[in-house]
Amino acid sequence: MKKLTRSLVCAAALGLSVAGPVNAAGISDGVVKIGVLTDMSGVYSAIGGKGSVVAAEMAVHDFGGTVLGKPIKIIAADHQEKADVGSAVAREWIDRDHVDMITDILNSAVGIAVQKLASEKHTITMNTGAGSTALTNKDCTKYGIHYLYDTYALPVGTATAMVKGGGKSWYFITADYAFGHSLQDNTAKVVKSLGGEVKGEVQAPLGTTDFSSYLIQAQSSGAQVIALANAGADTINAIKQANEFGIVAQGQKMAGMLVFLTDVKSLGLNIAKGLQFTTSYYWDRNDASRKFGDAFYAKFGKMPTMDQAGVYSAVLNYLRAVKAAGTDNADAVRAELGKMKIDFFGDTGHIRADGLNVHDMYLVKVKSPKESNPKHGHGWDLLQVEQTIPGDKAYMTLAQGSCPLAK
């Protein structure tokens, strides 16, 4: 099989070792290895990709370059949006390279497969990229952590705001795999709970470039809201084509159920203005997010997406847990992660028994060209935070979930 990994060694830039509660004998193989498993070439590459690797490297640098006196190494690979490829990479990393933690894992099908395999091999996964609630429900595992967002939290903000704003009838254009189905199901539940109705749905293959037939079906349904249960390039293409067809101009609204900052930048404010969506990170929300955003821009030339910010935070908090545990042993580190407060750019979260990291989410709205200041944020002054959704309101409770580990 073609070798899929490439090593990216993070030097101990600050020079000094980090003291821990026990000596460095607690670090297996004399190094802590973290794998960034992401989409380097597909529809989600702008969301994670090389930017996620940069974010992981930044976290290692900011932590101090070493943990318990031993070096930290970042390796990365492209899962190509394929569960079998992602699983093969993860197996190679764990069995041959002795990777201690795997993060990002964009794509829910890949995420579910890798989480299962990694947990069977007693390896922690901190998934920032995938959205399916199955990760902390029927497919939950002892070592699997769903870190950044899920398909339950996204519609709590977006669908609620749109239904209350008059969008009572919905039609779904859905990415035809685990993430898309999960996002549609959870969004539909919110819509119906608020007195709305679902008038229809259509599934589109992941990575499709022509949404015309799907948009015509949605337009013909007469639904007030056309909901996109997809992400990345799929969302961009669908919104661009909807604009070309004049769908919004004729009165229907578009709802992007998972939108990233890079999507807005690609669409441009003239097309995306007024679009509401839910996110866990925006660079201009507070001092901590601005500090990271500016530092990331200096390294990568773009402001970070929610996923890239999530990778930075996951790596940083994982290393803090290793330091607190005095070892990279998965059981000890997972126990520390469950006890500690998870710092997320000024927010505080906590990781439950089912692996869900519960933290605040934010409803945002895309600015109009007149509202955006091109001199602010290196040209990335794109969003306005409209509402904070507390973590205990954004996510399903343990009682609502189906994870056997939490029963």
127 shares its domain with 198: no
DSSP secondary structure letters along 174-225: EESSHHHHHHHHHHHHHHHHTT-EEEEEEEE-TT-S--HHHHHHHHHHT-SE
Q: What is the pLDDT of residue 314?
A: 98
31 shares its domain with 145: yes
The answer to whether position 127 is within a domain reads yes
The answer to whether position 309 is within a domain reads yes
Q: What is the pLDDT of residue 2?
A: 36
pTM: 0.92
Distance CA 194, CA 80 (A): 38
The answer to whether position 290 is within a domain reads no
| Phi, psi angles (nearest 5°) of residue 319 | -65, -35
The answer to whether position 99 is within a domain reads yes
13 shares its domain with 143: yes
Q: How confident is the model at residue 19 (pLDDT cuts 50, 70, 90)?
A: very low
Q: What is the pLDDT of residue 278?
A: 97
CA 214 to chain centre: 26
> What is the average pLDDT across 132-136?
97
Q: What is the pLDDT of residue 6?
A: 38
126 shares its domain with 269: no
194 shares its domain with 124: no
Distant-in-sequence, close-in-space partners of 388: CB < 8 Å, separation ≥ 6: 360, 361, 362
Distance CA 75, CA 79 (A): 13
Q: What is the pLDDT of residue 16?
A: 32
> What is the average pLDDT across 271-296?
97
Return the number of other C-beta atoms located less than 10 Å from residue 87's C-beta.
18
The answer to whether position 293 is within a domain reads no
Q: What is the pLDDT of residue 201?
A: 98
> What is the average pLDDT across 362-366?
97
The answer to whether position 403 is within a domain reads no
Token pair for residue 166?
Answer: 């008059």
For residue 38, the surrounding DSSP H or E stretch is strand 32-38
Residue 65 reports pLDDT greater than 90: yes
223 shares its domain with 372: yes
| Structural domains of the chain, count | 2
Q: What is the pLDDT of residue 407?
A: 77
Helices 306-325 and 330-339, axial angle in degrees (round to 10): 110
> What is the average pLDDT across 197-212?
97
263 shares its domain with 386: yes
Contact present, 344 and 306 (Cβ < 8 Å)? no
User: What's the CATH code of the domain at 33?
Assistant: 3.40.50.2300
The answer to whether position 195 is within a domain reads yes
228 shares its domain with 368: yes
Domain containing 337: what range? 5-150+305-358
Q: How confident is the model at residue 183 (pLDDT cuts 50, 70, 90)?
A: very high
Residue 234 reports pLDDT greater than 70: yes
The answer to whether position 285 is within a domain reads no
* Sheet (strand 169-175) strand order: 197-204, 169-175, 225-229, 253-256
Distance CA 54, CA 334 (A): 24
| Structure confidence by residue, pLDDT tens digits, 238-258 | 999 999 999 999 999 999 999
> What is the average pLDDT across 28-43?
96
Q: What percent of the chain has pLDDT over 90?
A: 93
Mean pLDDT (the chain) is 93
Distance CA 332, CA 343 (A): 19
218 shares its domain with 129: no
Distance CA 274, CA 263 (A): 14
Q: What is the pLDDT of residue 230?
A: 96
112 shares its domain with 129: yes
137 shares its domain with 209: no
> What is the average pLDDT across 133-156?
97
248 shares its domain with 365: yes
